[in-house]
Amino acid sequence: MTSSGAPVVLGVESSCDETGFGIVSDGILLGQGLASSASQHAMFGGVVPEIAARAHLDAVVPTLQIALDDAGVQARDITHVAVTSGPGLATAVHVGLAAAKSIAWALDKPLYGVHHLAGHAAADTLEHGPLPEQSIVLIVSGGHTSILAVGDLVRDPIEHLGDTLDDAAGEAFDKVSRLLGLGYPGGPAISRAAVGGDPAAFAFPRAMLRPRDAPFTFSFSGLKTSVARTVETLERAGEPVPVADIAASFEQAVVDVLVTKALRAVQERGLDTLVIVGGVAANARLRAVAQERCDAAGVELRIPPPRLCTDNGAMIAAVGDLLVRSGAEPSGLSIAADPSAVLHGAQLPLLR
């Protein structure tokens, strides 16, 4: 415990290509360390699980030390450990889980298995304080695009209102970036390329927005295909490919669908707060359009700063901190990795 008696929670994240450790006490981020293997995956155009797992193994000890130094605490000051136990790449999740179990066992501290997506939602609390009693959370990342109805993040069940039928928004960014020769990861690359482009230059489709479509369900594969056909048509005609205009038009199409459906959920539920989290929440156009439309609708918009949008240990520590303060029972050292875990609650149950 700190001098105030508050728990000091270490969070461990390794679900994809970031190795993250964060330390949170009483809702306050004390410090964090983050390592990424993204550059090692760039030549493959996406994350290679075996490479990610080996990179996690190399990064665990130094990244933990960075987090401890950043927080100004010693390992002995840690009172609880929280870890992503799913979902994610199986080999990657196992490395972080093994590290967290080792730390919890060595320090003789309780261990909590946390759902990765609940971590993204909790990241916002480190910047803006506790979530309201009820809110809509839009999660947009490389592997997930979901609209959730959230009450108390760790006490109440989390309700899935809708998910993507195919590519997540982040996957679509990666694939379109590859089509345009912009590299990996695609989100930042598309965003940079779009700066000088015209978002109205190409009328790319906005899927699942017709009246009879599922109101909170997403689909981005058709948009990706439309971009591919546009590029192919231009190249066959021997015309230059206007990369900036295509990037801006694609980005706008994604943003329009995300914001329209998320605001629809807020309004249909009679709520007044929209929280946008996940790696794609760092996108400048998404942040600007969401702010503009939320202001017009009288809805409070909460988005964590970009440094807390991508995968990190701080968000997992934030969930752990909430679980500890709510009196939740620890998961224990027998918690197993669940790479395909469905989000029903912030703490993952033991697999039987």
Q: How many CB atoms lie within 10 A of CB 292?
A: 12
CA atoms of 151 and 154, how far apart (whole Å): 9
Q: Are strands 9-13 and 80-86 parallel, antiparallel or unpaired?
A: parallel
Neighbour count for residue 213 (Cβ, 10 Å): 12
Return the number of other C-beta atoms located less than 10 Å from residue 343's C-beta: 22
3-class SS of residue 273? strand
Tell me if 108 is assigned to a ligand binding site: no
Q: Are strands 135-140 and 111-115 parallel, antiparallel or unpaired?
A: unpaired
70 is in an annotated binding site: no
Integer angstrom CA distances of residue 257 from 63, 250, 295: 37, 11, 17
Helix, coil or strand: residue 10: strand
Flag whether 321 is marked binding. Answer: no
Q: How many residues does the chain have?
A: 352
Return the closest-CA partner of residue 96 out of 1, 45, 22, 170: 22
CB-count exposure of residue 148 (10 Å: 0-12, 13-18, 19+): buried
| CB-CB contact of 52 with 91 (8 Å) | yes
Residue 41 annotated in ligand binding: no
The answer to whether the annotation marks 116 as part of a ligand binding site is yes
* Short-list 84, 33, 41, CA closest to 59: 33
Task: Read off the DSSP letter of residue 252.
Answer: H
Residue 86 assigned as binding residue: no
Q: Residues with Cβ < 8 Å from 272, sequence gap 6 or more?
A: 132, 266, 298, 299, 300
- Rounded-to-integer distance, Cα 352 and Cα 334, Å: 10
Q: Contact at 8 Å (CB) between 311 and 18?
A: yes
Q: Is 48 annotated as a binding residue?
A: no
**Does 187 show up as a binding residue in the annotation?**
yes
Answer yes or no: is 120 a known binding residue.
yes
139 is an annotated ligand-binding site residue = yes
For residue 311, say whether it is annotated as part of any ligand binding site: yes
Measured distance CA(107)–CA(101) in Å, rounded: 10
> Residue 44, CB half-sphere, CA atoms under 13 Å: how many?
12
List binding-site positions for substrate.
139-143, 174, 187, 283
Task: Give the residue numbers of the binding site.
Answer: 116, 120, 139-143, 174, 187, 283, 311
Q: Cite the annotated binding site for Fe cation by residue number.
A: 116, 120, 311
